[in-house]
Amino acid sequence: MIFAGCDLGTISAKAVIIENSHILAAEILPYKNLPKQAAANVFENALDKAGLTKNCIDYCLATGFGKKAVPYANNDLPELLCLSKAFHKLDRNIRTVIDAGGYSIKAFNINGEGRVTSSTANEKCASGTGKFMEVMANALEMSIDKLSIAALDSCRPLPITSQCGVFAESEVITHVNEGKDRLDIFAGISLSVASKLAAVVRRVSLDQPIAICGGLAKNRIVVRDIERELEMAFAPYDINPQAVAAYGAALMAEERHTQ
């Protein structure tokens, strides 16, 4: 039997298709509007990649910010439940998880049975999130992918002192107008984000092994700086960090449909 999971976030849609808990296809699609259409498109892309049609899917669960907008889902589940399910499958030793997404930061602990024992999240401010990093990269007029790698070599990160995203952007523009090195500016932004992430994570127990997922988990300089801030190395796992919740939703679909 074949199952699917869709994680419809605020800036990207993710779909995973599995058979016997094995991933047949995983797809990620950034979008700026029309979340319902993005959910449909990412599912079609995943089906094409797996060489399947919609009729091949026995059951599908949705999760994420826009889970109610996924037109083909049989039901939906909370994101934390899907994330804990996925990580319990990927590595049963993982005890602390950071989910650093487009507009939110979450941290939670899971026990040996894969159950969430404690959790926390950032406030409504988007500072320190993936969207914040995207806005900062736009202010520097460089792609975030290039910056996240090139800024690793910065030896003089410029501090970003503003806690508000709007004021931080103004601070970055001021540095640019003063002729400061863009890589040093981005390195300073990364340190600021790492500090904000660490503050959220420390609200739960920092039990190891610890893992990170979400869009920021693909940003190399941010990951490096968070590891330094927490004085811990993140556990590796074999799936795109942005697809973890969708994978967990697919696993939950498989579990609930076969019970």
Domain of residue 86: give its range. Answer: 1-91+240-259
Check whether residue 177 and residue 248 sit in a common domain: no
Check whether residue 179 and residue 252 sit in a common domain: no
Contact 221, 189 (CB under 8 A): no
* pLDDT 10s digits, 135-153: 778 888 788 888 889 899 9
Of 68-77, 98-107, 198-207, the least confident: 98-107
Give the closest residue to 77 by CA, choosing from 53, 52, 60, 94.
60
Burial of 75 (0-12, 13-18, 19+ CB in 10 A): middle
Taking the model in full, what pTM does it have? 0.90
Check whether residue 84 and residue 98 sit in a common domain: no
b/e per residue 167-197 (b: at least 16 CB within 10 A) = ebbebbeebeeeeebbbbbbbbbbbbbbebb
Copy the structure tokens of residue 151: 């800024």
Check whether residue 55 and residue 142 sit in a common domain: no
Q: What is the H or E stretch that residue 224 is in?
A: helix 220-230
Q: Is the pLDDT of residue 164 over 90?
A: no
CB atoms within 10 A of CB 126: 19
Amino acid identity, residue 155?
C
Q: What is the mean pLDDT of residues 188-206?
A: 90
* pLDDT 10s digits, 210-237: 999 998 899 999 999 999 999 999 999 9
Contact 208, 232 (CB under 8 A): yes
Check whether residue 123 and residue 221 sit in a common domain: yes
Check whether residue 76 and residue 127 sit in a common domain: no
Q: What is the CATH number of the domain that holds 126?
A: 3.30.420.40
Phi, psi of 112 (to 5 degrees): -65, -20
Q: How far apart are CA 53 and CA 55, in angstroms?
A: 5
Question: Of all residues in the chain, what percent carry a pLDDT higher than 70?
Answer: 94
Check whether residue 7 and residue 63 sit in a common domain: yes
Check whether residue 172 and residue 123 sit in a common domain: yes
Q: pLDDT grade, residue 159 (50/70/90)?
A: confident
**How many domains does the chain fold into?**
2
Check whether residue 181 and residue 161 sit in a common domain: yes
b/e per residue 137-166 (b: at least 16 CB within 10 A) = bebbebebeebbebbeebeebbebeeeebe
Check whether residue 30 and residue 132 sit in a common domain: no
In total, the chain counts a number of residues equal to: 259
How confident is the model at residue 86, as a pLDDT? 98
Question: Of all residues in the chain, what percent carry a pLDDT higher than 90?
Answer: 64
Check whether residue 101 and residue 208 sit in a common domain: yes
**How does strand 116-121 pair with strand 210-213?**
unpaired
Check whether residue 66 and residue 187 sit in a common domain: no
